[in-house]
Structure 1
C-alpha cells in the first residue's frame, strides 16, 4: 500500500475539479484499511473517504489523508427458491454491479442502472431512481470504524435510510468506512415500471412483455438522453434533492402555478421536482464562463472545463435564492461540499 503526498484529485471526482490531497492511499482490502487506520503515524491525522467522487464538490484542497477504497468482489452468500443474497465490495462500480445482477436475472436494481459511483457510496446516499431506492434491496452494510478499526455489520434498520439519507450521513457521519454491502435480489423479478418515462421508452423499444434486461436498457436510454456523460462534461448528476413540502403549501402554490407537478409521498407531504422549479425560474441552459446549468436537464450543474468548485457553489446558492423567491421553497443540495 503506497501513500502519496500532494496528490491531485482531479481524476477522482466527476466534476473534474482540481483539488490536492495532502496524502492519498488506495486500499484494496479490509485488512489494508484497518492497517492504515490503526497506524500510529496516521491514527491522529484527519481522514477523508473518497469513493467514485460522483457526489462531491471540491471547493478547496483536502488537508487530510484521503482514503480511496477499491475493495472488489461479488460473492453469493446464500439463496432460496425466490431470492439471491449477494455481497459486493465497496470498490465495485455501481453500474457494473447492476449489470452483473441483470445478466443473471436477479431483479431489484435494474431501475438503478447507469447511476455513477461505487457500491460503497450507494447506501450512504440511499441512491434512487424511477421508483426504486437502494434501501429496497439492502440487507446489511459492512463498515469499519475510522477511530477503532473495528468492523461492524449494520442491519437495514440500523442504516436509518431516508430520502437520499442514511445514518452514515447523519449520526455516524465521518465515523465509518463502508467496505461491503449485502443485497437481497429477486430470482422471480417483479418489475417496477410505473414511471411514465420508463413506460414510454419501453413502448418506443417495441417491448410489450418487458424483462429486467429491457427495463435496464430503457433506464440507460433515458439517463443518456437527459444527463451529460461526466467523461464529456464535468457534473455530479442531480445537484439538488427534490423538495418535499406540506400538502397545504403545495395546494396554495398549485392555485398560483396550475402547471406545477407534484407527487404525493404521504398524507401530509408532496414531492415537487427540483428540476422543474429550476427550469421555471429561468436557469435551464444558463452558462457563466466555464460553468453552468445543463441544457437538457436543469437539475444538473456542469463544469465545461476549467471551472472551480467555489464558482459552482456560488451558482448553486444563486439558484436556491431564485427558486425560493419565486416559490417559497428552499432547495437542498444532494451533492456534498468539501
Structure 2
C-alpha cells in the first residue's frame, strides 16, 4: 500500500470521524459509520490511534473538505473560461482539403451546366456547398441551374443564401433579380438589381435588368388602369416570348453580343456595335414599339437567351446566323455600324 493512498484514506477517516463529532451524521447512524471507519482502516492499514502514523499521514492544516472545495472552485473556473473562449472564437470552418474538393465539385457542375444536365449540376453544386458552405459562388451557380430548368422559386432561395453568405457578391443580386423577374415579381426584381448596382454602379447587365423590371412595373400599372383588348398569344411560341421577356430582352442580347465579340470574314463586330449608343438607342426604341414581338415568339431565340442568362454557354456566330430572324438583325446592325471595324 503506498503512502499516498494511505494519506487519502486517513483524510477520509478523519472526515468521517469529524462528521460523527459535529453531529452531521444522525445518532442512529453513528454506530454503523464507526464500524465502517474501522473496516476501511483495516483494509488500507491505517490506524488513527497510532500517533506515529497520524503524524506521517496527516495533511493539516488542510482537510479533505477544504481540498475538495478548492478542486470544485478550480474546476468551475476552468469550465467557465472554456465556454467563454469557445463562444468568442469563430467556428473552424472548412479545411483546405474541403475547399479543394468543393472546387472540383463546382467544376463538375459547370461542365454539367454546359451539357444542359441541370439536375446533375444541382447535385454537384449541393456537394460543393456541403463541403464549403462559406462560398457564395456555389449557391449562385446552383441558383442558375434551378433557373435553367424553370425552378425559379428555388433559384430565389439560393440567390438569397449567396447574399447572406457574402452581401458583396454582386452576381448573386443578378441571379436573384432574374429569378424574381421570371416569377413576374417585377418589384422584387427591380429591388434586387438596385441593390446590386449600389455595389457595382457600372454593371451593364444589372442596369439593363433594372430598366426592364421598371418597364414591366410601369406596364402592369397601365394595364391595371386601362385593360388591354389585345388577346394574348397562346401555345409554345407564347411561352417562348414570355421567357425571352424574362431574360431582360435587349439587355440580355447586348450581353450575348459583347461576350462573343466581332467575327472575321466580313462578320460585323457586334461587341463594338452593341456598345454604340446610337445603335443601342435604336434597338431599345424598336423594343419599346413592339418591333421585337415576332422575334420574342421564336422558340429557338428564346432558348438561346435562356441558356445565356442562366449561366450556360454563349451561342456561336454560326448558330446566330443560322436563324433567319437573328441573321437579319445581325446584318442590319452591321449595315448601321458603318466603319466601326471588324474583330481582331
TM, length-normalised to structure 2? 0.30
Task: Report the structure, 1 or 2, having the larger strand content.
Answer: 1
Task: Report the structure, 1 or 2, having the larger helix content.
Answer: 2
TM, length-normalised to structure 1? 0.31
Higher Rg: 2
